[in-house]
A = this chain, B = another copy of it.
Amino acid sequence: MAEGITKRSEDYSRWYTDIVMKAELADYTPVKGCMVIRPYGFAIWENIKQILDGMIKETGHSNAYFPLFIPESLMKKEAEHVEGFAPECAVVTHGGGKKLEENLYVRPTSETIMYSIFSRWVRSWRDLPLLINQWANVVRWEMRTRLFIRTTEFLWQEGHTAHATHEESKEETLKMLGVYKTFSTEYMAIPVFDGIKSDAEKFAGALKTYAIEGMMQDKKALQAGTSHDLGQNFSKAFDIKFQSKKGTLDYVWQTSWGVSTRLIGALVMAHSDDQGLILPPKIAPIQVVLIPIYRDPEMRSKVIRAVKEIEREMAAVARIRLDDREQYTPGWKFNEWELKGVPIRIEIGPRDLERQQVVLVRRDNGEKISVSRNLLTSRVEELLDEVQHGIYNKALKFRDENTVEIDSYDEFKKRMEDSVFAKSHWCRNPECEKKIKDETKATIRVIEFDAEKEKGKCIICGKDSNGRAIFAKAY
């Protein structure tokens, strides 16, 4: 166990906070519920952002920037939306030393401000589809906060699109859910279930909400991304109409979708251990750390010369950091970079130089590998790939071992005490869903797309079920 990190088995919640703080991902601030994302945590966010931004642009979307403030009158235009969001908003009542004529809400999400402007931009079918994305900060007043997972202010991207037909907007909704799933599995190394939310869990103002859900190491679910089919709810509220090819004046069909800095919390909770962070190489700010080992000055100059050569050679294939600080021992550095989750450590001492080899150590499983010097770069490239897959497969195995089909409510309650992903039949009645939530704290995370293949009986009321839903306790 690393110094100052509570064991997962002792207190999962403290373990999480210890890692976030000790690895210097984030810190508390004098502002209630708001955190500071420290440079190492922000470097993770920059990697997430760069990769996801590329995927969002490849699918045809452009970035833009809309105002932080939403006038109260706009916020109130879509009835369900204001009911869901207004109670958790921060409200600006004064500006420039005076009381404002109209209160301004700090955006909790940007549907209302964006769509009030979309209504001027969209005139004809030629203006469609309108495919916009925004990287921004949003504010939702939270009572119980947790670093990254739930904070009053957070960073996110929010995509907002408008289409000529519902067919097209549904396709877009599912396409972006697919982008999130690919990103989560291939980059974050977090396997996810994808599907549709129950009405009780959908976005305020959406027709349908789709989500991806990952399993954390305490077997709780974390919603890692959502994509909403907004139908024409907002286009009717904001009067976004277009002249169709046939000459009719129609309301557009809309989608919105987003992921946030809570993904960093998901990374920590899904993969890390009692020594600290474990980061998938594709997301890690530093992929390889080089640690020179020597005892006397003469040895030092030889070893340093060798590691600098390796640093230069490997810069093209990996994000590399040479830790040649003299005030710390190699052992101290091993702990430090384990805590920070660097996927591969390279140790080089005088004996390695003699033998023309180096020692690689994998962060994810502790394996030590001796590699001949001339094969180093290609071996590191392979190994980064192996670590990426190793982390994913471990998470997948854990999730699959803790995802079970449960057909009796007694068993459901018993297994849910320790938390589990329960695939159970449900009659689609919100009352049965509510009973489960009240009694076990488990909610429906998603109903998978292929759920309707199997019919059954609701575990609460025994009535016909059109397919299993995935229930779990969630962050």
Residues of A within 8 A of B (CB): 27, 29-31, 34-39, 42-43, 45-46, 62-71, 74, 87-97, 104, 106, 113, 116-117, 120-121, 126, 132, 136-137, 139, 141, 143, 152-153, 155, 327
The answer to whether B93 and A88 touch across the interface, beta carbons within 8 angstroms, is no
Can you list 11 pairs linking A and B with CB atoms under 8 Å apart?
A30-B117, A46-B63, A67-B153, A68-B137, A90-B94, A90-B95, A90-B96, A91-B95, A93-B94, A96-B143, A136-B137
Q: Are A104 and B68 in contact (CB under 8 A)?
A: no
Instruction: Please give 11 more A-B residue pairs, beta carbons under 8 A apart, in addition to A36-B65, A68-B137.
Output: A30-B74, A31-B71, A36-B66, A38-B64, A42-B64, A45-B65, A68-B153, A87-B96, A90-B104, A91-B94, A93-B94
Assembled-state Cα–Cα distance A107/B137 (Å): 13
Report the Cα distance A153→B92, complex, angstroms: 14
With the chains together, A63 CA to B42 CA distance in Å? Answer: 7
CA distance A43 to B67 in the complex (A): 17
Residue from B46, B67, B126 in contact with A34 in the complex, judged by beta carbons closer than 8 Å: B67
Q: Flag if A89 contacts B93 (CB, 8 Å).
A: no
Q: Which residue on B lies nearest to A116, using beta carbons?
A: B30
A89 touches which of B42, B74, B95 (Cβ 8 Å): B95
Q: Cβ of A90 and Cβ of B92 under 8 Å apart?
A: yes
Complex partner residue of A39 from B30, B37, B64, CB under 8 angstroms = B64
Q: Is the CB of A39 within 8 A of B92?
A: no
Taking a contact as CB atoms under 8 Å apart, the answer to whether B67 and A29 are in contact is yes
Min distance, Cβ A208 to any Cβ of chain B, angstroms: 27
CA distance A327 to B383 in the complex (A): 52
Name the B residues within 8 Å of A66 (CB-CB): 29, 36
